[in-house]
Structure 1
């Protein structure tokens, strides 16, 4: 009997010990899980140590109350409590794992979001790096354009003296640049459509390099004129293909600012040529014109082709690869790619456009906007005022060299400011503010000539003339100089972009020639009347922009076409 009782007690003792061991292991497991949860969300203390315990909890086996309550229990109560706790712990463990899992997942998501938040700027920069690089390479062509345009002014006397050129021969050297640019404008669209935007920039760079070398080695008027004609042709192609390429590769939120850099770099090229031409020989200045072309040719090897041109020509794999490079490896390009493809497929159903097709009803709005802006840009007087700034300053009694330096610096600064505003303020507001400034500048300058001719406040006339010219140049640089090129690159459907872009560029160059050619004749007719006439043209530009030109800010090229044709 005693032996049976002893065996029973031993068996109960073993069961109690096993239950307590099981309870301990379970509780320790839960404690570790809770500690892990705490560590995942808890900040370290000042010593950098996280506490894994929950003091005073039922799971803390170092707690005094817990030990005393365990010692006071009978074996039967211990068994029952152990079994109950075992079941409760299993239940609690499952629920605790779920509760721990959710916060950990949420925390992981939050951490991921924080990391993405902190790294979003870096990620955006990485995704847009290729767009920025491609734009930089392309605007080397714009800088080359400016170098060509600004070359003749500081080198006139030196070239005439070294090569014994007559005034008529040097005048031909200066004006033949415009004729070369007009030829380049006529062919630029076809070249860009046939061999691509990169191919067109390569051809343009080749002509510029050949032209600069011809000028450098010139011993007489013939080679000098051939070189000038070649650089003019390169300018004409650059003037079309650079803004079009930038518009086609840029995301919609950057397109305006990046396209405006085209005009900024033209201004920079002109200004740098003015400045360094004062201390370099005319042959050395010609060599500096090769530098941007060389950078462009090397850069074209690295950057991708326009995705829209690739899609238009059926190069589907190359199209997706180019778009992926421009938008970044992690970017979702499916929506943009589908939109471009759908638009291209719609255009493929239409016949290839010719010049006469531009005047069909469905294209008339785009052509009117693109060509109209070029007309108002040039016939508002910019090239006449630009080419004869020095004489205007001299005739008004202001030092010509000081005025020219102020003119060049102001042009670059205001153009850069316009580039930062174009995607914030929009295209139309910038053109309208610019046109109002042009009207004001013309009226101020015209008033100064009127006062001088009629003997009214003669001492104030020079200051008024200088103020008017600087207001005019600042206003032109703020909007009318760059924005028409931006809109031209956006406004034409891709199936007529080559033909329509060539027409708009040709009109621009013709306007530049006509304005510069007629300026002296108009000034001899009436100096103040000339500026009143320019003011009237710029006032008409305000009406044209308000009534006809749409806002293209924040829209894809395909959305712009939908809005125009609606």
Structure 2
């Protein structure tokens, strides 16, 4: 049954007449930004949940403001921080199921259920086990939204704006982080939970009136609802969206001719898309972003900064928001690969500087006293360049590369893999840092960013401005300009042949 929770302009059931005026119809393309923004308010709520430990850990260590009868231990703090990743490993499979069975829109809306359950558990908390459970429920919501939201944004976007809408995920995550960083230290434990519930409530109310994606309706052979959805998103008449609708229908028809099952994810061009996405989300976590943010206070202390830790955290949150706001403005001009290469370079330099500083400091080098500014400089460089590329673009690329017929199967696996890596990095960083030193640990993360640079340069295809069909043709091996360019370089270097162009 077609979704009727929002109002469309009346559409004639007669076949539209394609006139020159209709083909040049401008519409209201800003609508896709509004719709994607509302969809990502749910992502903002997950950012709130991810950053929740920053202000709350201090409250739990001194539980006068919480219902706990005793302070939590350091080991419990570690589990509280990492259990959200456990929930996020399972959430993608729920999200993939919901996206294919009830639609992208309802999949996103239903993510509010585990979010609300998590906040209720935090309010009713009587022991640490309830906090653990709340973090797992939040993780389920994170996994659902990180799977379905990129899918939704990719499917409502025009080809030339898909990168911008895909990068909204990172922007709204850091909005959520900044909110919890800015409010958490200055309100009670209980008041903070109510702020989180308010964010979820706003998300539910606003997104309820947003449309389902045309692609989902076309997959269900509901062409009329797909047309109405596309009209609502583009702000055009039926005749004005007919050409785009026909193109979408052709892509869906081609995809539906292939009966997709799990084994299809690991075949041919599907597998190319899948392993590219998996490696990108893995290097995102192996960049050490969560560890760097966790040790922010240590980095400020090493620099001799006199700022209060709460104020310092708010400043870093604001830097994240500012940097993340750059990507939607430039990603469809510079392209995904260029921003990823810039990001990998900047994060490598930032981690290298942090690593060298901590090694010198550990060894008692006298030059450290003249380099107290270096940790903050390195921290800002790392965060800015991470938020420009490695933060948002793996999710945007996931929504673009994975073919329609396997997207609901492959996206959950890739997202679950991301959060498994996140859990391993956050849970076991301390033992590794104790064994080799924090400076060496940061250098290891830097090496991972170097690997990400070369992987992006030689393997990741550029999807800027390309339709889903054109992207699949690239993955299938049809050469493009970059392939000819790389082949020329290889010939100059004396190689017989270059790497195959995706």
Pair in the same fold by TM > 0.5: yes
Equivalent of residue 554 in structure 1, options 465, 476, 488 = 465
Moved more, 512-521 or 221-230: 221-230
1:329 corresponds to which residue? 236
Deviation at 1:148, TM superposition (A): 0.5
Corresponding residue number in structure 1 for 2:225: 318
TM-score in terms of structure 1 length = 0.75
Q: Residue in 1 aligned with 2:126?
A: 219
Partner of 1:352: 260
Which deviates more from structure 2 when the two are superposed, residues 151-160 or residues 536-545?
151-160
Contact 1:184/1:233 (<8 A) preserved:
yes
Shift of 1:522: 2.7
What is the match of residue 491 of structure 1?
A: 401
Distance of 1:292 and 1:496 partners within structure 2: 32
CA distance in 2, matches of 1:170, 1:449: 25
Q: Deviations over 1:404-425 (max 9, x none)?
A: 2332121110110122111111
CA contact (8 A) 2:269 2:475 kept: no
Preserved contact between residue 82 and residue 426 of structure 2 (Cα < 8 Å): no
2:438 to 527, 535, 547: 527
1:64 alignment partner in structure 2 = none
Match of 1:437 among 346, 350, 353: 346
Verify the 8 A CA contact 1:192 1:200 in the aligned structure 2.
yes
Residue 149 of structure 1 corresponds to 50
What's the CA shift for 1:396? 4.5
* Conservation of the 8 A alpha-carbon contact between 1:449 and 1:461: no
Contact 1:133–1:303 (Cα < 8 Å) also in 2:
no
Measure how far apart 1:456 and its partner are.
4.0
Tell me the equivalent position of 1:158.
59
Question: Which protein is richer in helix relative to its size?
Answer: 1
Say if 1:137 and 1:295, in contact at 8 Å, map to a contact too. Answer: no
Does the 8 Å contact 1:427/1:483 carry over to 2? yes
Q: Which residue is equivalent to 1:14?
A: none
After superposition, the C-alpha distances for 1:120-173 in whole angstroms (9 at most, x for unaligned) are: 9xx85x622532331122011111111101111101132341302431444333
- Counterpart mapping for 1:129-528 below 5 A: 129-160=30-61, 161=63, 162=66, 163=68, 164-167=70-73, 168-330=75-237, 332-354=240-262, 356-399=263-306, 401=309, 402-454=311-363, 455-524=365-434, 525-528=436-439
* Residues 159, 282 of structure 1: 8 Å contact kept: no
Matches of 2:265 and 2:370, distance apart in 1: 50
RMSD: 2.0
The question of whether the paired residues in 1 share the 8 Å contact of 2:118 and 2:133 is answered with yes
Between the aligned partners of 2:368 and 2:236, the Cα distance in structure 1 is 66
Report the CA distance shift for 1:440/1:139 in structure 2 as closer, same or farther (over 3 A): same
Equivalence map 1:63-82=2 (5 Å): none
Q: Distance in 1 between matches of 2:184 and 2:360?
A: 36
Please give the alpha-carbon distance, in whole angstroms, between the structure 2 residues aligned to 1:157 and 1:456: 34
Q: Point out where structure 1 has 5 or more consecutive residues left out of the alignment.
A: 1-112
Q: 1:434: how far off? A: 0.7
Tell me the alpha carbon deviations over residues 195-252 of structure 1, each in whole angstroms, 9 at most, x when there is no partner.
1111111210111012112211222223333222212211111111112111110111
Larger relative contact order (CA 8 Å, sep ≥ 6) = 2
- 1:541 and 2:442 correspond: no
Residue 126 of structure 2 aligns to a residue in which SS? coil
Gaps of 5+ in 2: 1-19, 479-502
1:113-124 residue pairs with structure 2 within 5 A?
A: 124=26
